[in-house]
Amino acid sequence: MAQVLIDKEKCDGCGYCVNGCPQSVLALDADGKAEIIKPEACEFCWDCVYNCPIEAVAID
């Protein structure tokens, strides 16, 4: 099954993936990095991947 993956080393906390997700699957954690908070809501639309300017988000 597919899943959203976030490379915490690459993530700079810009929030584009969070704001681009129509299902509110992502949020910024206490360190300002993207994290998955509602994986069950993900529809695999790829908006988070397309909105990340540094390619820190992927779907596998």
- In this prediction the pTM is 0.91
**pLDDT score of 31:** 97
Q: How is the chain split into domains, by residue range?
A: 4-59
CATH T-level fold of 4-59: Alpha-Beta Plaits (3.30.70)
pLDDT in tens, the chain (60 residues): 899 999 999 999 999 999 999 999 999 999 999 999 999 999 999 999 999 999 999 999
**For 50, how many CA atoms within 13 A lie in the half-sphere containing its CB?**
7
In angstroms, the Cα distances linking 17 to 14, 24 are 8, 10
